[in-house]
Amino acid sequence: MTTPDDETLIRARHRMLDSIEDDARDMAPLIGRAAFAPAVMAAMGAVPRHRFVPAGQGHRAYVNRPLPIGHGQTISQPTIVALMTDLLDLAPTHRVLEIGTGCGYQTAVLARLAARVFSVETIPRLSEAAAARLDDLGIVNVILRRGDGAEGWPSEAPFDRIIVTAAPERIPPPLIDQLAPGGRMVIPLGRPWERQWLTVGGKDSAGAFTTRRNLPVAFVPLV
């Protein structure tokens, strides 16, 4: 049985999905697609975003906006989470490295679409809170670590996919090294408060790495 409160949240989550679909259509010329993959939308519809925002903010969780999560950090806008997930082109066999766990929302979305997610966060209290939330939701294919994501996770490399949710000016070389041949990376690049570009990197089977820009974005800096 769902309670009336659950039903309100589920309706709000459906409205969030509609808003993400509208954004995808509006941004189609920039992002190179007019819709996101059905599996991505299903994952966005399944993860209870209200469980990832600070207490008292639950009613705002399904507005298609970024929200503060404390420690000067934010939970990304739902459309950006969907776009980054779509650009990753995940398969159920993939091992994914995420840099910037934050509240763990993007982590939970990735966990529904990949085999295993390794996620690094520099702020210990955010990492601990994310671990508790993911655990409460019964998400077991995620491993969290505290540390500097610019170093990647050498002992678990290579990764089929790498996603970075804070912006460095340039791609940290260890992340390129730790991407498997045939792998893909999605990362915002640029200085804080200046124009940043959501960038898609790919490594071919011979190991050559190339990038292309997707959408202008505004992310917190990779520190």
Active-site amino acid positions? 76
- As measured in angstroms, the least distance from the Cβ of 207 to ligand SAH is 25
Nearer residue to ligand SAH within complex by CB, 29 or 72:
72
Classify 212 as helix, strand or coil.
strand
Identify the residue among 83, 110, 123, 217 touching ligand SAH (CB under 6 A): 123
State the burial class of residue 147 (Cβ atoms within 10 Å of its Cβ: 0-12, 13-18, 19+): middle
| Residue 158: cis peptide before it, omega within 30 degrees of 0 | yes
Distances from the Cα of 5 to the Cα of 1, 19, 72, 92, angstroms: 11, 21, 30, 33
Tokens of 183: 């792998």
What is the CB neighbour count within 10 angstroms for residue 29? 7
CA torsion 110-216-179-123 (nearest 10°) is -60
End-to-end CA distance of the chain: 45
Distance between CA atoms of 147 and 17, rounded to whole angstroms?
Answer: 33
Residue 101's DSSP bridge partners are none
- As measured in angstroms, the least distance from the Cβ of 76 to ligand SAH is 4
> Is residue 63 close enough to count as binding ligand SAH by CB under 6 A?
no
Interface with ligand SAH in residues 158-177 (CB under 6 A): 165-166
**Which of the stretches 5-13, 41-49, 87-95, 146-154 binds ligand SAH when contact is defined by CB under 6 A?**
146-154
Nearer residue to ligand SAH within complex by CB, 17 or 123:
123
> Is residue 190 close enough to count as binding ligand SAH by CB under 6 A?
no
Nearer residue to ligand SAH within complex by CB, 128 or 204:
128
**Which of the stretches 56-64, 73-81, 173-181, 206-214 binds ligand SAH when contact is defined by CB under 6 A?**
73-81
**Which of the stretches 95-103, 110-118, 134-142, 180-188 binds ligand SAH when contact is defined by CB under 6 A?**
95-103
Nearer residue to ligand SAH within complex by CB, 157 or 220:
220
- As measured in angstroms, the least distance from the Cβ of 73 to ligand SAH is 4
Distance between CA atoms of 87 and 40, rounded to whole angstroms?
Answer: 10
Distance between CA atoms of 180 and 170, rounded to whole angstroms?
Answer: 19
- Which residues bind to ligand SAH, rule: CB under 6 A? 73-76, 99-100, 102-103, 105-106, 120-123, 126, 148-150, 165-166, 220, 222-223
